Amino acid sequence: MPQVVLKLPASTLENMKKYYTSSLKNSPPAAIFAAKTPNCTITAYKSGKVLFQGQKPETEAEKWGTVPSTTSGDGKTRKNNRHAFHPDDQLFVSSHIGSDEAGTGDYFGPITVAAAFVTKEQISQLKAIGVKDSKNLSDAQITNLAKDIVAMKIPYSLLRLPNKKYNQWQRKGWSQGKMKTMLHHQALNRLLEKIAPEKPDGILIDQFSEPHVYEKHLRSENQQLQEHVYFMTKAESYSIAVATASIIARSAFVKAMNQMEFDTGLPIPKGASGKVDRAAAAIIEAYGEEKLEELAKVHFATTEKAKKFVK
């Protein structure tokens, strides 16, 4: 039986347990929780290891981390040819495209995906204005940097996935991994058209799934990988192009969250937590349950928790 094993931090395990609240089952000794979904059985252990086992373990596992090679029932490992998709260090100092996304783990707000083309001459300029890993920047810094990037006329493509559409795709059976794949693919195609006839030395995607899974999602929609595409975890720490794309995507996400607060007159917190549960309950009380369709990823466990707060 196919299986996937991920090593995840405690905070992710906590979010997973909340996410699978309605699917929990009796867990074995030393396990934090166990859940059963249509795709597979999930067992999370105190060590941080999570076992996904069943017909489609990758579909569930890619929601939470980078999926390694899967192991079949006979113990043979399926190789994913990772090396072919890993960039050479030379790419980081060349003219290349980077792409990244924001909003995937947040209950509220859209998934935003951005791709940016940075020439080798612009790398030092972007570093000079403070472009770096967006995880080390505040929302205010990201907003200001995004304005500076636009002022530099860095070519980019930005896509936002409204939650109404997200929820429709999710009910259609699309995993979040597939959604992200198709958004990245479209953003890259749009950017390649924008900069044509110029061609980048390579395309680097901040890796959220194994390359073979990414390609599988493309094939399912009759699409093909572009030329010279590479994947790398924590890519924005190495590539200024990916860091630039990350800042653009994050800025668009922050702007969307601020707009939701303005439109509803209610606090719209980021992430997934007890604070978010209570915010969702406030939305239901003020506007009705159907309002969440346009504001939130309603398959998150947050939705059911919020309903319990509503009197």
Residue positions forming the annotated binding site: 100-101, 206
What three-state secondary structure class fits 24? Answer: strand
Sorted by sequence, the CB contacts under 8 Å of residue 25 that are 6+ apart come out as: 34, 35, 36
Please check whether residue 177 is in contact with residue 216, taking contact to mean a CB–CB distance below 8 angstroms: no
CA angle, 194 as apex, 191 and 198 as ends, to 5°? Answer: 95
Omega of the bond leading into 197 within 30 degrees of 0 (cis): yes
Which residues on neighbouring strands pair with residue 3, listed in sequence order? 53, 71
- Binding site members for a divalent metal cation: 100-101, 206
